Structure 1
Amino acid sequence: MGLAFKEETFRDDYTYRNSLDAIRRFPFPFPEDKYMYSVNIEPHVKGKPGSVLEFPLDIDEHYVSECRDKAITLARDPGRYASLPHMMDAQWDVLELIMESLSRDYPEQFKLTKDGNRWTWQNLPLGIENTFTFGDRSSLPMEPFEYVGRQIQGDWVILDQREGTLFADAGIVTSQADWSLAFDVGMSWHQWHAPVPRATEIGVMDRALKFMMNLQLGEPVRRLNWTMTLNPRLDTSPENYPLWGPDRNHITLDNAGDRVHLRVELQTLFRLPRSNGIVFSIRCYLISLNELATYPRWAKRFHRILKDLHPDLLEYKGLTKFHATAVEWLSRYDDGAPLDIGTHPE
């Protein structure tokens, strides 16, 4: 599979843009005209060729630029990577998962050679090559989870299963939607998800936990989640709120098309073989309203989703200040006629 990587930025001058192919494969998350928070988990099986679901881990045109942005965030705030001492087996599990997946599915970009426990890893897009001993921390320049986590798009959290629940005990998180790894690391499942509105009331988190505790090795699952971001900024962490929070006050009908972005997370969960933990991948995709409207059916449906979104979700997702403007901008694509579309354009 050939990939052309783009040079772009996710801060300051914001040169990030989606190509026509990237727009077409965008994981539009709305199968109907209404939205309510739900588990919406399905088996993480192979999708259509060229789609974001073709392979277990998706690499796209933004790969190099996203990894560079991740490195910038980690250099400014090393605390975006954290792992509790008992998580080393799980770290090696994740390294193996990512290296084997990328080298198998993207052989032109990534190569993995094994001689027993002596492994050689080549990441051609980032110009990285290391030979190391699998299981020996001293043979890598940093902890194995951080080493491989810097070379993959999205955020990654490792969940340790004990005491009848899951604990977020390791993570590399640089593109989160307004939550903090430094605050959440070591928390249990219900502590971590306590801010989600009405989730406890309707039992969503209890059902999700029960499902995940029974996740089987070799049977990963996935779900889509979404929010909105102003400017194509990956790092919308609480720690950096002064850098991005004020943008909410400056959205108008004239600039909404360029600045307001739908932010979709492809969340995948894999059971890990040695540690019996679960790795939770949160892969972020961004698309501006102008790009979204390339497919007017998407803009029409998104208008209906936003227009009727529950006030608690508006507050939770941080949309309150620019919600009305985004709804008005999208309304030009909604003639009120019934809409029957899938989540991807044909």
Structure 2
Amino acid sequence: MATISSMPPELLHRILSLAHESTHWISTRGRAPFLKSTSLVAKCWIAPSQQLLMDSVTMDSEEEVEKVEKALEAAGKKMLVRYLTERTGERGLKVVSEKARAVHHLCLMAMGDKYDAETLQSMLEKGLRSLLLLAPLNGGKLSDLPSAGLALEHLLLTPLHEPPPRFLVPLLSSLPRLTRLNIFWSSGGEDWNRNSISALLQVMPNLESLTLSDYAPEPSAEKAPSYSLHSSLYSLLPAAKSLRTLEIDFEASTALTHILKLVPTRLELLETTASPAEETTAKNMLEALKMPALKGLKRWRVAALGKVEKKGEGLREWERACEGRGVEVRDETRFFTGESGF
């Protein structure tokens, strides 16, 4: 008869991961009590419990860095950290870079310290798949990158912490697998410089998914006719010739039609976050539906649509137009599906 001790380790790892699964960049604090308990069930449960405890790590204090360092040292450079959110600065990043086998998904968020480009290069060369760069880098450069390119598939960048050209240019020229890009502006803040735009143009043709974020408010009715996008988008968007999925995370719904005019492909999935309760938003959504970029649209996700208590005529007209075009509308209560690519 099968016992706990005879269970295949791969199956045990899968069961434990499903029992306390996380798909977000979260701290280990919520997982720790559960996984500490499972590690006490049997000797063979200790290793998978520890592995899952390190699966999603947030370092936001020196105390957290020390705990992670001890755990990694105990594992002897064999531990894979799948999700790492780093908020303490260079020391925390260096600890994981030197003592973990690899990191798959990395989010850098320290505001008071700059990260070292050489440390980041080491993690990139170990197979980093996703990088969210929301913090400044020092003046270091990338050098001697693998001729076959890096494994990075997803990248988030912001002009607020624009990487130096000697880092960004070689990085973007070494990403043959990159298919997903996020660009985040800070409330209508500074745009990319010319060197960064040229570097970004290298990856645009292969992108399948693009997220654009800017929380600048909706312009007034008087200013709406003169509204314009960040100038970099007029160069970048026309180059995205493989784009299938677009997320427009703009507070200003006026940006919707301006962006779609520049998209050279027919999108399959569109996601928007501007408040659908506003009549201005509904009007812009209805206008967008007529544009060439949405002629092949299959699904339109609208954040907060399900929270609209009283739908205005503009929003109801947009819903009818979507139904007539065969576009599936989804809100935050039914946002995802198991279908590939959606």
TM-score tier by shorter-chain length is under 0.3
Relative to the length of structure 1, the TM-score reads 0.27
Relative to the length of structure 2, the TM-score reads 0.28
**Which has the larger strand fraction?**
1
Q: Which has the larger radius of gyration?
A: 2
**Which has the larger helix fraction?**
2
Higher relative contact order (CA 8 A, sep 6+): 1
